[in-house]
Structure 1
Amino acid sequence: MENKKAIELIDKILGNLDKTGIDTETLIDDIKQLRAYALEEQIPLVVKVLRLTYEHIENNNTFLIPILDDEPTDEEEHIEEHVESSPVESLKYLISLMKNLNNKINISDLKEYRDLLTNY
């Protein structure tokens, strides 16, 4: 995201996740505020991922989507595999992807999170 306040909010969310874990009330408010910045910047993928994320947290009181695996090996024949991770680690990774939307891998991972959240 380009907005300086949005980047500061991303850093705040990441810091809060480190300090308090998934504190649903504060976290959901911060994600909704971040979504407003994404709406301003007209980034539909981020808007959708953030909405799905806070709805998921509201419904489950945690983040149940595992962190994405780096690269599938040839043996896995591109079957999506996910590594064991904590809800905080996975959510931190998801939020951190939004800091650099010029990176194609970040966009690809955001799309994968969108699909996982939609199908959860």
Structure 2
Amino acid sequence: MENKKAIKLIDKILADLDKKGINTDSLIDDLKKLREFALEEQIPLVVKVLRYTYEHIEENDSFLIPIPDDEPVDDDSANVTADNVEPVESLKYLISLTKSLTNKTNIADLREYRDALNSY
């Protein structure tokens, strides 16, 4: 994202995750504010991923989506279980992806998060 306030908010969210883990109250508010910046900058993928993310956290009181694999996975091995997910690390990775949207890998990983959140 280009907006300096959005970058500061991303840094705050990452710092909060390091300190407190997934504190749903403040985290969801921060994600909603970050989504507003993405709306202003007209970045539909980030808008959707952030909405899916805070809705997922509201429903599950955690973030149960794993970090996308570097290698493409076939459908049989794509089973997601709560055992192979590190919620804070995965969420930190997702949030950090929104910082640099010129990186094609970041966009690809955001799409994977979007799809995983949508089908969870």
TM-score by length of 1: 0.91
Shift of 1:71: 2.3
Q: How many correspondences in the alignment? A: 115
SS at match of 1:116: helix
Q: Following superposition of structure 1 onto structure 2, how do residues 48-87 of structure 1 map, counting pairs within 5 Å? A: 48-72=48-72, 78-79=73-74, 84-87=84-87
Match in the other structure for 1:37: 37
Q: Is the 8 A contact 2:56 2:117 kept in 1?
A: yes
Measure, in 2, the Cα distance between the counterparts of 1:69 and 1:19: 26
Shift of 1:68: 1.3
Shift of 1:85: 3.8
SS at match of 1:106: helix
* Residue identity (%): 71
Match in the other structure for 1:16: 16
Q: Is the 8 A contact 2:21 2:88 kept in 1?
A: yes
Measure, in 2, the Cα distance between the counterparts of 1:49 and 1:110: 7
SS at match of 1:22: coil
Measure, in 2, the Cα distance between the counterparts of 1:85 and 1:117: 13
Match in the other structure for 2:99: 99
Q: Is the 8 A contact 2:52 2:114 kept in 1?
A: yes
Unaligned runs of 5+ in 1: 73-77
Measure, in 1, the Cα distance between the counterparts of 2:114 and 2:47: 10
Measure, in 1, the Cα distance between the counterparts of 2:86 and 2:118: 20
TM-score by length of 2: 0.91
SS at match of 2:58: helix
**CA root-mean-square deviation:** 1.5
Measure, in 1, the Cα distance between the counterparts of 2:69 and 2:108: 12
Measure, in 2, the Cα distance between the counterparts of 1:31 and 1:8: 13
